[in-house]
Structures are given as C-alpha cells and as structure tokens.
C-alpha cells in the first residue's frame, strides 16, 4: 500500500500527464479519480489505498485466466533473459510454437498465423489480406468491406470505419475510409428489421447482407466482418440461422468472411472460439485479449490455409511489416496462458459458471422493473435496462442512469463502469459461483438504490 501523500502525488501526476483512453481528466479530478491499481489475484484487484475490488469486466473482457498468475511472469522472464527479440528475417522458438498451437486449436483449416500486438492491428491486417487476396486472384475490383452498424472492430485509422457509432465517436476523423458498407445488427431484442423472434431477425439480417452485396455488385465486395456475438449491443447472440446463412451467402458471392473473435475468443463464451457454437468456419479469424489474458500486448490474424496460399511464392508475400509482430516474450507468455486455460478447464468453467450467472441475472427481473433483457452465453453476458419493459423505452439522458449506477457499483466494491443502458459483464473465466454471488449482491443493491431514488422501487 502507498502512503496518502504518495497516492495524492500519483493521482495529480496522472491528471496532469497521462492521456487515458475514454476518460477526461477534468471529470476524473472532480470524481477523485483515477483509481490506481497495484495488484490483483483471480477476479480481484487492489488499489493504491489498499481497497480490494471485484473486476466484473476482467480488464476489457480480456483478463481471461484472471490476475496474478506468476507462471506467465516466469515464462516471459525466462524468454526475456534468453532472447528478448530476434534479428530481422528470423524467428524464435516460442513464436513458432504459438503459431503451431493456434493452428491446432482454431477451427477448420485456419492455420496460417500473422501475429500482431492488438485487436485493431489484427483487423487492419485482415483488411489488407482480403484486398490483396482478391488482387492476387485476378479480381482487383473487390475492395468494399461490409460490417454492421454499431459494431466495434478497433480504433486505428482504417478499422475505425468498420461498424462504429453513428457519429460522435467518428466525426473528429472524417473523411471515412473508402469502400465501407454497413449492414444491420442481428440483435434479437431490438431487431432493426422488425424480426419478432431470434430466427426471424437472423434471417432478415443475413438476407440484408446479401441484398447489399447484390446492390453493390459482388465483383466489388471483398469481405464481411462481424463478431460472432456482438458486444456492441452487449452480448447480442444472433438466432442460430445467422452464421450458417452468412457463410453460404459469402461463398455464393466469392466474398471472404472475417470473424472478429477479439472478445469472444479464448473461452469467453464457453467454447474456445464462439464460431464453434454454429460450426461455421470463417476465412479469417482475428484474436486478441484472451490469447494472452492481457498480461502483455499480443493478437493475431489467423487465416485459412487456402487463402494464405495465395501469398506463397517469390515476390508474392504480403507487404505488411510490424516491428513487434511475433514478439518472443509475448509468444512465450501466450503459450503459458493457453496451457493454463486448458489444464484448468477454464473454457468449461466459463460455460458452467456463466450459465449460473445468467440464471442469477434473470432473477433480477422479479424485483427490478428496470431490467428489460438478460442475454449472453458463457461469461459474455449483458443486462439491458429500460424505463418500460413492455415498450422497451430507454431512459432520458437527463436521468443519468449510467452515471448514477457507476457511482453505486463503485460504492459496492465493483469495478464495473457502464456508459449506456446496457450492463456488459465479462469477468475472468476462473470466477467461482461464490464470486458471482458477491457481484450479484452489488448489482442488486445498486439497482434497489437507483429505483428507490427514481420512485419506482417495487415494494413487497
């Protein structure tokens, strides 16, 4: 634990010099933020004041094996003292072994691995691969990429234009990247196309993609990119028809299918990769976060053998160089991370404890009129709050529901920040039922308090 004076000095220095993502330093100063975290273990983290919290979102849905696993530090240390980096044009043992391991656990013929440092880079890499692939196959006119409005695929200058919020997150950065097309989200709770069941919504949304391909001409469309389960709407599990239909549509029109498994991958949904829920193999799969449980930066673009083979041969390689691609220290840590996940049955734990967690969240509907929908699978779960369960009306901005709930979650020891009417839940996959109960207690109390203040609390 640090002293009060040290703590204050850290906070002031961070407010003056640190540019944190998605937080504003004026508001943080008013709220006594930022919290400065000093250690973690399992699902818990401790701040510089010595207070312990439960991390309901496991970092950014990313600390899959949980905090404090010294085996990962040991693997990284051993590699760092042996060989921290490699001379150009060579590779290293952990980098090769990681590529081999990823090929082994990835579905179908996804077996050629381009390692990168983060999810945005993985998706940038995928964008370049699909365009370059079509050029190599003699279809240079295929450059457009279909994503789904509202989705998030990263923050760098290209992928920023995949999906995305309608305006505010992007209007600072116009003009848009060329060739970006947008399709509807297959969100069964609020189907944009009026589908009344998950299946109806899935079919309408898949057909909307085919309509878009036909409207623009298949000869201009390079790829479709989507998360298997959309985190942009909060654990939006599509109807079972969606992914098989999308696979068929892409095949019919020669369009490549990219599954963004940055959040869903590495056990989060109770399968190693979420596409396994539908037995659909994408042409490219992007992974990050859980691949290394966020202990170091690492991600990868994993490509089907038959697609990657288009880049084989002299002077034919993908022109794409990143200094940290295949970093051996990250690779060694990632291998250890996957080993822990497999040895300790964490994917299975995500399925089992996730089902229990979802049941507990469902029961919130009995007491809390604010709870409109509970959804998700494994440990990718969400609760959508509404002001009227029948009409699904959302709260007025003036009600400040996210801000007020954030204060209450904090009071109850939860690291659980929301910025919309959806509570997105993604704890480490090592979570126990007892820890789920603790989180549920904090959420339940927070909702009671808010409903009391709003004059809508249910009385017995």
Ligand X SMILES: Cc1ncc(COP(=O)(O)O)c(C=O)c1O
Interface residues toward ligand X, by CB under 6 A:
60, 118-120, 123, 152-154, 227, 231, 260, 262-263, 288
**Residue nearest ligand X by beta-carbon distance:** 119
- With respect to ligand X, which residue has the nearer C-beta, 227 or 373? 227
- With respect to ligand X, which residue has the nearer C-beta, 149 or 199? 149
Q: Residue 187 CB, nearest distance to ligand X (Å)?
A: 15
Displacement of CA 25 from its chain's centroid (Å): 25
- With respect to ligand X, which residue has the nearer C-beta, 230 or 387? 230
Q: Is the C-alpha dihedral spanning 272, 191, 206, 138 positive or negative?
A: negative
- With respect to ligand X, which residue has the nearer C-beta, 94 or 119? 119
Q: Which residues pair with 381 in a beta bridge?
A: 376, 425
Phi/psi at 149 (nearest 5 deg)?
A: -60, 135
Q: Which residues of 204-232 are buried (b: 16+ CB within 10 A; e: fewer)?
A: bbbebbbebbeeeebeebbbbbbbbbbbb
Element (H, E) at 434: helix 433-454
Q: How many CB atoms lie within 10 A of CB 9?
A: 12
Cα–Cα dist 52/207, whole Å: 49
- With respect to ligand X, which residue has the nearer C-beta, 260 or 435? 260
Q: Residue 297 CB, nearest distance to ligand X (Å)?
A: 8
Q: Residue 94 CB, nearest distance to ligand X (Å)?
A: 20
DSSP 264-284: TTTTTTSSSSGGGGTT---SE
Q: Residue 376 CB, nearest distance to ligand X (Å)?
A: 15
Q: Residue 456 CB, nearest distance to ligand X (Å)?
A: 33
Q: Residue 299 CB, nearest distance to ligand X (Å)?
A: 6
Q: Residue 266 CB, nearest distance to ligand X (Å)?
A: 13
- With respect to ligand X, which residue has the nearer C-beta, 222 or 258? 258
Cα–Cα dist 128/249, whole Å: 22
8 A C-beta contact, residue 277 and residue 268: no
CA angle 15, 21, 23 (to 5 degrees): 55
- With respect to ligand X, which residue has the nearer C-beta, 123 or 125? 123
Which residue blocks in 147-241 are alpha helix, DSSP H?
A: 198-216
Element (H, E) at 111: strand 110-116
- With respect to ligand X, which residue has the nearer C-beta, 299 or 405? 299
Comparing CA positions, the residue from 370, 368, 373 lying closest to residue 383 is 373
Q: Residue 388 CB, nearest distance to ligand X (Å)?
A: 30
């Amino acid at each position: 634990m640090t002293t009060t004076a040290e703590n204050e000095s850290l906070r002031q220095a961070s407010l003056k010099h640190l540019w944190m993502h998605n937080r504003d330093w004026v508001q943080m100063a008013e709220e006594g933020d930022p919290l400065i975290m000093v250690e973690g273990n399992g699902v818990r983290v401790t701040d510089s004041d010595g207070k312990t919290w439960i991390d309901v979102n496991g970092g950014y849905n990313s600390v899959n094996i949980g905090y404090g696993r010294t085996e990962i530090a040991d693997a990284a240390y051993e590699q760092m003292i042996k060989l921290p980096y490699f001379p150009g044009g060579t590779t290293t043992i952990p980098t090769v072994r990681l590529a081999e391991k990823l090929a082994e656990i990835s579905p179908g013929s996804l077996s050629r691995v381009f390692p990168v440092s983060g999810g945005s880079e993985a998706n940038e890499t995928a964008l370049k691969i699909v365009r370059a692939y079509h050029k190599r196959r003699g279809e240079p006119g295929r450059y457009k990429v279909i994503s789904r409005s509202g989705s998030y695929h990263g923050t760098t200058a290209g992928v920023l234009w995949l999906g995305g919020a309608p305006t505010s997150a992007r209007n600072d950065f116009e003009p848009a990247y060329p060739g970006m097309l947008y399709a509807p989200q297959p969100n069964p709770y609020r189907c944009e196309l009026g589908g009344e069941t998950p299946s109806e919504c899935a079919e309408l949304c898949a057909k909307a993609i085919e309509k878009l391909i036909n409207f623009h001409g298949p000869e201009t469309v390079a790829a479709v990119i989507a998360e298997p389960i959309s985190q942009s709407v909060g654990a939006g599990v599509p109807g079972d028809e969606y992914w098989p239909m999308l696979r068929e549509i892409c095949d019919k029109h020669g369009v490549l299918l990219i599954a963004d498994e940055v959040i869903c991958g590495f056990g989060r949904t109770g399968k190693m990769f979420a596409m396994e829920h539908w037995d659909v193999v994408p042409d490219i799969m992007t992974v990050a976060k859980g691949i290394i449980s966020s202990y170091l930066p690492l991600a990868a673009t994993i490509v089907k053998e038959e697609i990657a083979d288009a880049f084989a041969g002299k002077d034919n390689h993908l022109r794409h160089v990143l200094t940290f691609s295949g970093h051996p220290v990250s690779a060694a840590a990632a291998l250890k991370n996957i080993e822990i996940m497999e040895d300790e049955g964490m994917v299975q734990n995500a399925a089992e404890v996730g089902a229990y967690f979802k049941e507990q969240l469902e029961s919130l509907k009995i007491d809390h009129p604010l709870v409109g929908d509970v959804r998700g699978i494994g440990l990718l779960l969400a609760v959508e709050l509404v002001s009227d369960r029948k009409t699904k009306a959302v709260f007025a901005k003036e009600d400040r529901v996210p801000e007020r709930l954030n204060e209450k979650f904090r009071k109850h020891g939860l690291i659980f920040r929301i910025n919309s009417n959806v509570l997105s839940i993604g704890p480490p996959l090592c979570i126990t039922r007892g820890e789920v109960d603790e989180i549920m207690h904090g959420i339940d109390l927070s909702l009671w308090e808010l409903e009391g203040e709003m004059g809508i609390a249910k009385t017995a």
